[in-house]
Amino acid sequence: MKKKDLVFIIGLTIFMGVLWIVGELVMGLWIAVVPKAHLFWLIGIVSATLIISVWHSMLEDESDLQDPKRQKYERKKNKRKQKKRR
């Protein structure tokens, strides 16, 4: 697991936790709901967090698909082209 993936997961978890707390406060203070609504809200938040996390993990980073040696060759080739243009 890469550092950016870990940061994304931790940030997503914190964001969803804050969203859950805000929803609970709104349901508890301003909107009269049945008690099962709190359970559905919790299930919805956990489900959304898991779905977003899995979706993010399935995205392929292009840097993973390219060989580092090939990237180095491409950089050198581009530098040569730029020097010839000048």
* The pLDDT of residue 64: 62
Give me 68's structure tokens: 């580092």
* The pLDDT of residue 60: 66
* The pLDDT of residue 70: 79
| Domain with 38 in it | 3-61
Q: What does the pLDDT profile of the chain (86 residues) look like in tens digits?
A: 678 888 999 999 999 999 999 999 998 888 888 989 999 999 999 999 999 998 888 876 666 666 778 778 888 888 887 877 76
| Number of domains comprising the chain | 1
In a domain, 19, yes or no: yes
In a domain, 15, yes or no: yes
Threshold 0.75, pTM exceeds: no
In a domain, 74, yes or no: no
* The pLDDT of residue 65: 65
In a domain, 80, yes or no: no
- Integer Cα distance of 29 and 63 in angstroms: 48
Give me 25's structure tokens: 């406060």
Total length of the chain = 86
